[in-house]
């Protein structure tokens, strides 16, 4: 008689409360950014600016890839996300200074809020740091 193979324990270590909160905060931040990004793209396309469709698709793909890299705990992706959000804010400020308009002011304030959100979530949040450490330890 042949003995069955041993059962391998596939249970992963459960997340602590702090890590669960970090996972939720990170998922909410990424979901918010994707929602804002897709809504902005839809508004740009609704205005009739269809020649930027390929750029929007590439930017969305890079954003999702960068978010995935952050989600699995890559340190470089975390800092790249923060740096890119700060650069986006500075570019928006530059456009507003060159051509003051209420919509450009709204855009600048939106990028300021998103940049601050990523700084607080990815750099200053202990819960997110605990979740990302857990993710790194799983790899």
Exposure string of 90-129, with b = 16+ CB inside 10 Å and e = fewer, is eebbeebeeeeeeebeebbeebbebbeebeebbeebebbb
- pLDDT exceeds cutoff 80 at 70: yes
- pLDDT exceeds cutoff 60 at 10: no
Question: Within 10 Å of residue 71's Cβ, how many Cβ atoms?
Answer: 16
Alpha-carbon gap, residue 30 to 116, rounded angstroms: 13
Residue-wise pLDDT tens digits, 24-54: 999 999 999 899 888 888 888 888 878 888 8
> Looking at residue 27, what is its pLDDT?
95
Looking at per-residue confidence, does 84 or 2 come out higher?
84
Average pLDDT over residues 15-27: 92
Alpha-carbon gap, residue 22 to 16, rounded angstroms: 10
- pLDDT exceeds cutoff 60 at 120: yes
Residue ranges per structural domain of the chain: 19-138
Average pLDDT over residues 63-86: 92
Per the prediction, the chain carries an average pLDDT of 86
Residue 9 pLDDT level (bands cut at 50, 70, 90): very low
Share of the chain above pLDDT 90, in %: 37
């Amino acid at each position: 008689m042949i003995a069955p193979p041993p059962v391998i324990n596939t249970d992963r270590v459960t997340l602590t409360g702090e890590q669960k909160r970090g996972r939720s905060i990170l998922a909410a931040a990424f979901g918010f950014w994707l929602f804002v990004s897709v809504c902005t793209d839809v508004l740009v396309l609704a205005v009739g600016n269809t020649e930027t469709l390929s750029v929007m698709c590439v930017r969305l793909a890079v954003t999702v890839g960068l978010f995935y890299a952050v989600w699995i705990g890559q340190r470089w992706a975390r800092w790249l996300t923060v740096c890119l959000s700060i650069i986006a804010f500075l570019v928006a400020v530059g456009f507003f200074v060159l051509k003051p308009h209420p919509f450009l002011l709204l855009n600048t304030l939106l990028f300021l809020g998103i940049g601050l959100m990523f700084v607080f979530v990815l750099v200053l949040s202990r819960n997110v740091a605990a979740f990302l450490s857990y993710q790194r330890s799983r790899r």
